[in-house]
Amino acid sequence: MTAIEVRSVAAPELGERVILAIDTSLGTSVAVGAGGRVVEVSSDDPRGHAEVIGALIARAFAEIRIPAASVTHVVAGMGPGPFTGLRVGIAAAHAFALGRGLSILPLVSHDAVALEQLEAGAPAGIRVVQDAKRRELFVTEYTGLDWAGAPARRAEPHLRQRESYESVVNEVWPDRVPAASLVRLAARRLASGAPFEPDQALYLRLPDVMQPKAPKPVTP
């Protein structure tokens, strides 16, 4: 049975907004923010995204005790992440937004990890590192928080070879992406007028399963 974790955090930056955030780049995490707090429901299962996403969304709304129809903004974590897992959350966010007549607010998933770490007292200059399989790593580097209270990237998300990777002191390997921090980041960007990311998944490489190539012509 998949273990589900529920937590609630304060979010004074929400104002009157009701924000749903979904991320499946690392585990599965759903958060709903309203009335100055965010409820996050998550699973660390690295494979069961499609099986749990609907239940996690329903659980998040039940925990915060508001109807899904009250959502004013929908956030999607765009990765980096593996093709199979990442597309589940993005598709779920798009489907929910379409049903409510809303636009998607895309965010880099590692930004949520960086925000949580920096606000918890981590020194500026942190690095978020995620296992990308195939002996590779997803890496994003940050200088600290910017004027709007959002993590400022020194290096955009990119791939590194695990065998040649050199660790640094201020690095973090998250177990999951905290969707609650995606909610808070979205609220800060909306309040400051800062732009969101392109609505494009950060796969950073081709999927593991590829379309078969056309057969070579047979020569007589």
CA torsion angle 17 40 169 118 (round to 10): 30
pLDDT reading at 69 higher than 70 = yes
pLDDT reading at 151 higher than 50 = yes
Q: Indicate the pairing of strand 4-10 with strand 37-43.
A: antiparallel
pLDDT of residue 194: 95
Q: Which of 108, 113, 53, 45 lies closest to 77, judged by CA?
A: 108
Lateral strand order in the sheet of 127-133: 151-161, 136-145, 127-133, 171-172
pLDDT of residue 72: 98
In the predicted model, what is the mean pLDDT of residues 61-67? Answer: 97
Q: How confident is the model at residue 44 (pLDDT cuts 50, 70, 90)?
A: confident
- The string of pLDDT tens digits covering residues 159-188 is 999 999 999 999 999 999 999 999 999 999
In the predicted model, what is the mean pLDDT of residues 134-150? Answer: 95
pLDDT of residue 86: 92
Cα 209 to Cα 25, 84, 205, distances in angstroms? 18, 9, 12
pLDDT reading at 49 higher than 80 = no
To the nearest whole number, what is the mean pLDDT of the chain?
91
pLDDT reading at 11 higher than 90 = yes
In the predicted model, what is the mean pLDDT of residues 22-48? Answer: 90
Pairwise pLDDT comparison (2 vs 64), residue with the higher score: 64
The residues near 212 (Cβ < 8 Å, ≥ 6 apart) are: none
pLDDT of residue 1: 45
pLDDT reading at 214 higher than 80 = no
Rounded Cα distance, 28 and 23, in Å? 6
pLDDT reading at 112 higher than 60 = yes
